Amino acid sequence: MDRLPEELLERINAFRESRLLLTAIELDVFTAIGEGATAAEVASRCNTDARATEMLLNALVAVGMLSKREGVFYNTTASNQLREGAPGAARTALMHVAHLWKRWSLLTECVRRGTAVGVRRRTRAETEAFIAMMDYNARARAPLVVEAIGLEGVRRVLDLGGGSGAYAIAFAQASPEVEVDLLDLAPVLRIARRHIEHAGVADRVKTRVGDLRQESYGAGYDLVFISAICHMLDPEENKKMLRKSYAALRPGGRVVIQDFILEPDKTAPRHAALFALNMLVNTRGGSSYSEPEYRAWLEEAGFQRITRLFVPGPAGLMVGWKLA
Ligand SMILES: C[S@@+](CC[C@H](N)C(=O)[O-])C[C@H]1O[C@@H](n2cnc3c(N)ncnc32)[C@H](O)[C@@H]1O
Cα–ligand 1 centroid distance for 66 (angstroms): 36
Question: How does the average pLDDT of the chain come out, rounded?
Answer: 97
- The number of distinct structural domains making up the chain is 3
**Same domain for 30 and 177?**
no
Give the N- to C-terminal CA distance of the chain in Å, as an integer: 71
Cα–ligand 1 centroid distance for 226 (angstroms): 9
CB atoms near residue 270 (< 10 Å): 9
Report in angstroms the alpha-carbon separations of 88 from 84, 140, 312.
10, 11, 21
Cα–ligand 1 centroid distance for 188 (angstroms): 8
Lowest mean pLDDT among 41-45, 86-90, 98-102, 110-114: 86-90
Percent of the chain with pLDDT over 70: 100
Which long-range contacts does 56-59 make (Cβ < 8 Å, 24+ apart)? 56/20, 56/23, 56/24, 56/27, 56/29, 57/29, 57/33, 59/20
Last residue of a domain, one of 102, 132, 162: 132
| CATH code for position 207 | 3.40.50.150
**Same domain for 27 and 113?**
no
The CA-CA-CA angle for residues 31, 35, 37, to 5°, reads 80
**Same domain for 209 and 67?**
no
Cα–ligand 1 centroid distance for 144 (angstroms): 20
**Same domain for 164 and 244?**
yes
**Which atom from ligand 1 is nearest to the alpha carbon of 212?**
20
pLDDT for residue 1 is more than 90: no
Question: How far apart (Å, rounded) are the C-alpha atoms in residues 268 and 258?
Answer: 17
Q: Would residue 32 count as lying in a domain?
A: yes
Measured by CA distance, the residue closest to atom 1 of ligand 1 is 228
* Buried/exposed code over 50-70 (b: 16+ C-beta within 10 A; e: otherwise): eeebbebbebbeeeebbebee
**Mean pLDDT along residues 245-268:** 98
**Same domain for 257 and 178?**
yes
Cα–ligand 1 centroid distance for 162 (angstroms): 6
Assess contact for 250 and 221: CB atoms under 8 A.
yes
**Same domain for 128 and 145?**
no
Q: Would residue 197 count as lying in a domain?
A: yes
**Same domain for 160 and 37?**
no
- Comparing CA positions, the residue from 161, 191, 179 lying closest to residue 220 is 179
**Mean pLDDT along residues 232-253:** 98
Cα–ligand 1 centroid distance for 126 (angstroms): 14
pLDDT for residue 57 is more than 90: yes
Q: Would residue 146 count as lying in a domain?
A: yes
**Same domain for 102 and 198?**
no
CA dihedral for 244, 245, 251, 257, sign (positive or negative): negative
Assess contact for 135 and 166: CB atoms under 8 A.
yes
**Same domain for 240 and 264?**
yes
- Comparing CA positions, the residue from 226, 225, 218, 227 lying closest to residue 250 is 218
pLDDT for residue 49 is more than 90: yes
Assess contact for 43 and 53: CB atoms under 8 A.
yes
* Buried/exposed code over 140-178 (b: 16+ C-beta within 10 A; e: otherwise): ebbbebbeebebeebebbbbbbbbbbbbbbbbbbbeeeb
Residue 74: domain span: 6-80
> What amino acid is encoded at 268 in this protein?
A
* Buried/exposed code over 179-191 (b: 16+ C-beta within 10 A; e: otherwise): bbbbbbeebbbeb
**Which atom from ligand 1 is nearest to the alpha carbon of 163?**
27
Ligand 1 neighbours, Cβ below 6 Å, are 134, 138, 161-163, 166-167, 184-185, 188, 210-213, 227-229, 232
Give the mutation target among 136, 139, 229 for probing the ligand 1 site: most ligand atoms within 8 A of CB: 229
**Mean pLDDT along residues 131-156:** 97
Question: Structure pTM?
Answer: 0.96
Give the mutation target among 126, 212, 215, 275 for probing the ligand 1 site: most ligand atoms within 8 A of CB: 212
Question: How far apart (Å, rounded) are the C-alpha atoms in residues 45 and 54?
Answer: 13
Measured by CA distance, the residue closest to atom 20 of ligand 1 is 211
**Same domain for 179 and 281?**
yes
Q: What is the pLDDT of residues 154-213, one digit of tens each?
A: 999 999 999 999 999 999 999 999 999 999 999 999 999 999 999 999 999 999 999 999
Band of the pLDDT at 2, cuts 50, 70, 90? Answer: confident
Band of the pLDDT at 142, cuts 50, 70, 90? Answer: very high
**Mean pLDDT along residues 33-58:** 98
**Same domain for 98 and 216?**
no
**Same domain for 106 and 240?**
no
Q: Would residue 308 count as lying in a domain?
A: yes
